[in-house]
Amino acid sequence: MAFSFGRHLKISIFGQSHSEAIGVTCEGLPAGTPIDEEELYDFLRRRAPGQSLTSPRLESDRPRFITGVSGGKTNGAPLTAIIQNTNTRSWDYTELRIKPRPGHSDYPAAVKFQGNNDIAGGGQFSARLTAPLCVIGGIVLSVLRREGIEIAAHLKSVGTVHDRAFDPVKPDMKDFFALRHADFPVLDKAAGEQMRALIDKARMQLDSVGGTVECMATGLPVGIGNGGYGGLDGAIAAVVFGIPAVKGIEFGAGFGASQTFGSENNDPFYYDDTGVVRTKTNHCGGILGGMSDGMPVVFTVAFKPTPSIAREQETVNLQTKENTRLCIQGRHDPCVAVRAVPIVEAAAAVAIYDVWMEQ
């Protein structure tokens, strides 16, 4: 059940990188939910930074709602959106069936599916499958916004170059707005320039580089989520690990918290001027006992470097059962973390909404 998930917002994603089309079916959005296709398209465009808005490639990437929408609103039937795969070149992927790419799903998929899987473009393991997640995520982001919940993410680091972090106690909403329209999704432009330089360097060296994405959700009421195995953190993690190349997630101070004392890490409560309970620090990332505590929810996701690099690599030949070498052809995104920024927002949105609907 790899591509069906969610308890209240039930999402079922389908497609392979080079199948006729990819898409998603979603049940659970209340009938009458407005679908603003332009707002959604603006969001989806953020998965393809640097491309001009009228790019024909992008135009064809526009989702078509074949069911579930009437007159710009959900109609209570399952909502299904389809994105055609117009751009599937007749690339020869045969070699990859024999010589699995290091760092890719090729080898375990070959064993698991006994050669039946579609290897072209990575089949169902392709990052292309995050587009349908973003279709639903984009819709849900709008739904949550109408409820006063804002979600934003930025590139926290590329290699060892770091952006400044969100302020976890008093986030600046201008940051949120700016990120939505940024060329490059960082808070500190200078850091962004350094990151771009590092990515370019990696590209020049036929290499790739890893990165992290920080995501924040503000406006969640207190008490969303639950203890035990129903926590908001676990729900977000479960969706986030569905994004290709994710290798870790931490909430608030996260791994850093493991190096501190309780007297440093505990977030003291206080009443603010408006009589609202808040915490002075936010090391817990807005989640206590699996529940939102009223402070911004903050988490960071680690992305490994793109495994597809043009450099020659060592691998095996599954046919001859010999060690061999492989050169992966084609142009590849040297840093998946950049495009992952809106994908993490989408993942956060659907996970939070699913838990939020439980109330």
What is the rounded CA–CA span in Å between residue 163 and residue 144? 26
Task: List binders of a second copy among 229-248 (CB under 8 A).
Answer: 229-231, 233-235, 237-242, 244, 246-248
In the complex, minimum distance from the CB of residue 58 to a second copy, in angstroms, rounded to a whole number: 21
Say if residues 15 and 25 touch (Cβ distance below 8 Å): no
Pick the binder of a second copy from 43, 166, 184, 303 (CB under 8 A).
Answer: 303
What is the rounded CA–CA span in Å between residue 152 and residue 217? 7
Scan for tokens 């790899």, then name that residue.
Answer: 2
Q: Which residues contact 139 (CB under 8 A, 6 or more apart)?
A: 26, 29, 33, 35, 40
In the complex, minimum distance from the CB of residue 274 to a second copy, in angstroms, rounded to a whole number: 11
Say if residues 115 and 121 touch (Cβ distance below 8 Å): no
Q: For residue 123, count CB atoms less than 10 angstroms from its CB and return exposed for 0-12, middle for 13-18, buried for 19 or more.
A: buried
211 binds a second copy (CB under 8 A): yes
Task: List binders of a second copy among 261-290 (CB under 8 A).
Answer: 261-271, 275, 277, 279-280, 283-285, 288-290
SS3 label, residue 290:
coil
Task: List binders of a second copy among 34-63 (CB under 8 A).
Answer: none
User: Residue 46 or 208: which CB sits closer to a second copy?
Assistant: 208
88 binds a second copy (CB under 8 A): no
Pick the binder of a second copy from 96, 186, 209, 215 (CB under 8 A).
Answer: 209
215 binds a second copy (CB under 8 A): no
Say if residues 128 and 346 touch (Cβ distance below 8 Å): no
Phi, psi of 26 (to 5 degrees): -135, 130
70 binds a second copy (CB under 8 A): yes
Pick the binder of a second copy from 121, 168, 171, 307 (CB under 8 A).
Answer: 307
Question: Which secondary structure element, helix H or strand E, spans residue 40, and what is its range?
Answer: helix 37-45
Stretch that binds a second copy, among 42-50, 134-142, 178-186, 256-264 (CB under 8 A): 256-264
User: Residue 45 or 289: which CB sits closer to a second copy?
Assistant: 289
91 binds a second copy (CB under 8 A): no
What is the rounded CA–CA span in Å between residue 172 and residue 177? 9
Q: x/- site string to a second copy, residues 320 to 339, per CB under 8 A?
A: -xxx----------x--x--
> How far is C-alpha 354 from the geometric centre of its chain's CA atoms?
16
Pick the binder of a second copy from 16, 194, 218, 282 (CB under 8 A).
Answer: 16
Question: Which secondary structure element, helix H or strand E, spans residue 271, and what is its range?
Answer: strand 269-271
Pick the binder of a second copy from 143, 186, 291, 341 (CB under 8 A).
Answer: 291
In the complex, minimum distance from the CB of residue 204 to a second copy, in angstroms, rounded to a whole number: 12
Q: For the beta carbon of residue 253, count every other beta carbon within 10 angstroms.
A: 21
What is the rounded CA–CA span in Å between residue 226 and residue 358? 10
Stretch that binds a second copy, among 42-50, 166-174, 181-189, 304-312 (CB under 8 A): 304-312
Pick the binder of a second copy from 121, 218, 292, 341 (CB under 8 A).
Answer: 292
140 binds a second copy (CB under 8 A): no
- Rounded to whole angstroms, what are the CA distances from 350 to 22, 111, 240? 19, 32, 10
User: Residue 90 or 258: which CB sits closer to a second copy?
Assistant: 258
Of 265, 272, 278, 151, the C-alpha closest to 222 is 278
Stretch that binds a second copy, among 86-94, 145-153, 172-180, 319-327 (CB under 8 A): 319-327
